[in-house]
Chain A
Amino acid sequence: MILSDKYELIKKNFRRFAEKEFTTEIQENLDRNGGFNWEIWEKIGKYGFTGVKIPTQYGGQGGDYMAYALMNEEFCRVCPVLGIYANTPNSLGGGPLLQCGNEEQRQKYLAPAARGEKQIVFALTEPGAGSDPGSMTTKAVADGDYYVINGRKCFISGAPIADYAIVYARTDLTQKGGRGISMFIVDLKLKGVSFGKPEAKMGINGYPTSDIVFENVYVHKDDLLGPLHKGYAVAMKTLDGGRLGVAAQALGAAQGAFEEAVAYVKERKQFGKPIYYNQGVSFMLAEMATEIEATRNLVYSAAEAKDHDASNAATLCSMAKLYATEMANKVCGQAIQLHGGYGYIKDYKVERLYRDVRVMTLYEGTSQVQKIVISRDILK
C-alpha cells in the first residue's frame, strides 16, 4: 500500500521521535530495572502522541486509525515499551470514554488523558475471567448516589502508575455472561482501592502491570460510563480498535528485529566472508521481509477499514492481530537465529524484542480468541 504524503510525514515524525528520544540507554535501563520513565512520558504528552486518535475537542490531535497504527508501528520498531506508553490512552484507556462518555466525563477524564496529564487504564480481566470476561465476579451494588464495588482485577497494564481505571463490574446479579455488566470510571485514589505488587514479567519491562483490588469502593453514579448493564458490548468494541494497535505494535517490533538481523549478517564474518553470502541466511531474510510486508498491508487495510467504518473492520482487526503477532514471534525468533549465540545474549537488541513480542499473541485477546472472532464472522 502506498501511503499519501500526509501519512508519510506522520510516519517520519514518529520514527524521528522514537529514534532520537527513546535511546538504547533508556530502553536497557527500563528492561533491567522496570519502573516507568516519567521523563519520556512527559515528552509523549507534550507532542500529543497520547491523544493521536482522540478528537481535538477532547484534547487530542484529531488523527485517525491509520495515524494511530503508524505510531504503534514506528514506536515499537524502536522499542515496544514506547509503543505501549503512547498506545494506552489512545486505545483501551480513552476508547470507552470516547465511545460512550457524556460530555462532562469526556472533558473531565478523556481530555487530560489525551494531553498526557493523567493516565487511565482498562480493567476487565480477572483471575478467573480472561478469554471469558463474561464470567467476571467483580460486582457493583447501588447504594443511594453511589455504587459499591467489590472484586479483583488482574494483569492490569499500567495500574501502578495510573490515576483512573475503566472498571467492568456486574450490576445485575441475576444475569449471566456478557449481560448485566456495567462500566465505571474509578479514581484509583478512592478509599478501598489497593494494588498488587508489580508482576515480574518476561518482557515489556518498564511498563508496570499489577492487580487492582476493590474493597467497598464507593463510586459516584456520575462516574457510571455508558448505559447501566450494557458495558460488555463497549468492552468488545474497544478491544477491536485495540487489536489494530497490537497488530501494528507486532509489525513494528518485527521490522526492528529484521533491521537488526540485516545489519548483523553484513557485519558478522565466518569462513572468511559475511554470513549473508550463505543462501541459507539470505533466504531467511527474504522470507522475513516478505512476511513483514504482507503484514504491513493487512494492518494498513484494517486501519483503513476502521477509518471508513467498513462492515468487516472488526474482523480485519482480528485477522491483523492474529497474523501480525504470530508473524512477529516467528520473525523475532529468526532474527535471533541469524545472530547465532550472540542473539541469546542480552547485549543484543533482538533478545529483548523476542521477549517483548511474546505477550502480543496473548493480550487483548489470544490468537485463539481471534480465531473465534474471525470464524464466527465467517459462519454467521
Chain B
Amino acid sequence: MRIYVCVKQVPDTSGKVAVNENGTLNRASMDTIVNPDDLNAVEAALELKDELGCQVTVVTMGPPPAKAMLRELLAMGADDAVLISGREFGGSDTFATSQIIAGALHNLGVGDEDIVFCGRQAIDGDTAQVGPQIAEKLGIPQVTYAGNIQKDGNKLVVKRLLEDGYMVVEVFTPCLITCVKELNEPRYMTVKNIIESENKPILVLDYEALKDEELIDLDSIGLKGSPTNIFKSFTPPQKGEGVVYSDSVEVMSKKLTEDLVKKHIV
C-alpha cells in the first residue's frame, strides 16, 4: 500500500500580494508556504502510515525551488518525494496540471490498495479543480471535502463536510480524497526527521521522463496548451472599517436604518 499526497507550493497570502503587469502573480517577490489544505492531506497520510506502516510519497509540480518544500514534508515523516518540473509544464492551468500529475502518478504506478490524497484547494487559485480532475484522468473514484477518514480493509469510510451538513461515503481503493482543514491538525517536524530527511530521495520527473506518458496530451499542457486565459488579476481595494453598534435592540435598529438611509442603501 502506497499513499501519494499531491501538494502545492503557494505564495504566502498573509503578507503582501504582488501582481505582475500581465496579471499573473509575482511569485518571486512573495514568501512561499505549503498550501494549508495540503498539509492536512499530508497529515492524513502520515496518520495512516503510523497506523498501518505504509509508504507515503509526496508529489508536487513546480519549479526546482519547490524541492525545499518537499524537504519539509519529508521532515514531517513522508518517505519519499517526487518533483514534476520542466519548462514545458510552466503556466499550466488546472486542466493541464491535473493531466501532468495524473500522468506522473500513472507513471509511478497506482496499485489496487493505493490512495491519493490532495488538499481541498490552493489558496492562490482557489479552484478546487486539480484533485477531482486527477481522479477523472486516472479513472479512479474521488471523495471530496473529507473531514474524517477511517480505513476499513480495502475501503475507506469518509465523512464529507458540506455547507449544509455532512455525508458519509464508503469508497474502495484505489481512490482519491481531497481534505479540508477540519480533518486534522498537521504535525510539526522533529529534529530527528529533519536530519533523516537529508537522506530521503527526491525523484525529479521532467518533460523527457513524461512525454510518452499515455495520459498526457502534449498539445494541452503548459501556458500555450492551457484552455484557461487570465483576463485580469488585481488586489481588491480595502473596504472601509466596520462599525459596531452596541445598545438596546430598538436604538440599534433605529441607528442602523438611519445609517443605511444616509448611504442611500435603503
Contact = CB atoms under 8 A, between A and B. Distances in A.
Interface string A1-37: 0000110011001001100000000000000000000
Contacts of A198: none
Nearest to A63: B191
Interface in A31-72: 47-49, 52, 56, 61-63, 67
Given A5-B68, A5-B71, A13 B192 contact: no
B75 A48 contact: no
B194 A13 contact: yes
Contacts of A63: 191-192, 195
Interface of B is mostly: helix
Contact of A67 (B68, B72, B191, B198): B191
Contacts of B190: 13, 47-48, 61
Interface string B20-60: 00000000000000000000000000000000000000000
Contacts of B189: 9, 13
B234 interface: no
Nearest to B192: A61
| A9, A48, A49, A52 — most chain B CB neighbours (10 Å) | A9
Chain A interface: which size bin? 10 to 19
A47 B75 CA distance: 12
Contacts of A6: 194-195, 198
Given A9-B71, A47-B188, A62 B194 contact: no
Contacts of B72: 9
Contacts of A16: 188
B189 to A, nearest CB: 4
Given A5-B68, A9-B71, A9-B72, A17 B188 contact: yes
Contacts of A52: 191
Contacts of B68: 5
B237 to A, nearest CB: 23
Closest 8 CB pairs of A and B: A61-B191, A61-B192, A63-B191, A13-B189, A48-B190, A17-B188, A52-B191, A47-B188
Interface of B: 68, 71-72, 75, 187-192, 194-195, 198
13 contacts: A5-B71, A6-B194, A6-B198, A9-B189, A13-B189, A16-B188, A47-B187, A48-B190, A48-B191, A61-B190, A61-B191, A62-B195, A63-B195
Interface of A: 5-6, 9-10, 13, 16-17, 47-49, 52, 56, 61-63, 67
